[in-house]
Amino acid sequence: MTIVKNLTNFPFAAIIGQDEMKLALQLNVIDPKIGGVMIMGDRGTGKSTTIRALADLLPDILVIKNDPFNTDPQGLSKEYETESIKIPMVELPLGATEDRVCGTINLKEILAGGKSTFEPGLLARANRGILYVDEINLLDDHLVDVLLDSAASGWNTVEREGISIKHPAKFILVGSGNPEEGELRPQLLDRFGMHAEIRTIRDPKLRVKIVEERIHFDQSPQLWFEKYENEQQAIQNRLLTAQQNLKKVQISKEFQLKISEICSELEIEGLRGDIVSTRAAKALTAFENRLEVTVDDIQRTIILCLRHRLRRDPMESINSGEKILSVFQRIFSSEKI
């Protein structure tokens, strides 16, 4: 499948570093039920660039022509005119209102007997795609709650004056922010499947390489895409194969029990941590083109799945990632790591 190039966006295959963020995003593409990604890190670390690059990498989707909800025509009883479109990548403006996000019901039109009763919002546009919210930690908690509800259920419901309209809203929710500007409430953080932390690269040689690559890309984006075309195609094929093989991936009962032991020892509230850790390990297994989850698959994903679910203790000197890894290694000590 040919990749349609957006020459304003940096190619995903050319992004240097930030492996944790890239892995979390790709695993959510393989299994959207993981529940999205929260990316926290310093300004200017390529968060927006990476997310746009991933959206460009993904294959086109088939939709009903001119449909505001990007409806999949396959399996419908009625035949519609169709078209292929680039996978939707919707960026939520920081000052967006609930009406802009969810859509509005035109009560005046309804009372007048008209048909144009609903004006779709950003959730409709994001259906079957990616919804990206930069500086999500500055967004109103109620609006974050609305986004998380839609992402989890796959539906958006708008109610006004006793009138209710519901439409599909299946999307991968990606939020990003700078921790210096405040964190999300723990209740909201917990509902994100994964939490990636990114930091400014300190190695001077690597920084110079990143700067040079960006300058060269801006000077001749077409040549840059041609340079990475094979790598881009390989990543796309790998993701598509992983999506197809995900249902075949198996994880042993013993490993599932040990994941739950880790969550229990870390005092993770609820069962989201157990579920997401299992899903992420299976998605990584599929990404690696295997069908049996290994200890390494769990080790590479469990910190991403649990770090934002830990109870905050300001007196602790150990960071969340080290704490999870320590418990993981103790519980899996009998296994070959």
Q: Note whether 278 and 256 are within 8 A (CB).
A: yes
Please name every residue paired with 173 in a beta bridge, in sequence order, or none if there are none: 131
**Tokens 């991403």 sit on residue:** 304
Residue 95, number of CB atoms within 10 A of its CB: 8
What is the pairing mode between strands 118-120 and 82-85? unpaired
CA angle, 172 as apex, 41 and 59 as ends, to 5°?
Answer: 110
Q: What is the DSSP letter of 34?
A: G
- AA letter at 240: L
Q: Note whether 173 and 151 are within 8 A (CB).
A: yes
Q: Is 330 a known active-site residue?
A: no
Q: Across the chain, which distance is largest between two alpha carbons, in Å?
A: 71
Of these residues, 52, 272, 279, 309, which one is catalytic? Answer: 272
DSSP SS3 for 117: coil
The whole-angstrom separation of Cα 176 and Cα 256 is: 30
DSSP SS3 for 259: helix
The whole-angstrom separation of Cα 224 and Cα 87 is: 22
DSSP SS3 for 92: coil
| CA distances in angstroms from 312 to 20, 37, 334, listed in the order given | 22, 20, 29
Judged on CB neighbours under 10 Å (0-12, 13-18, 19+), 68 is middle
The H or E element containing residue 241 is helix 221-245
Q: Catalogue the active-site residues.
A: 272
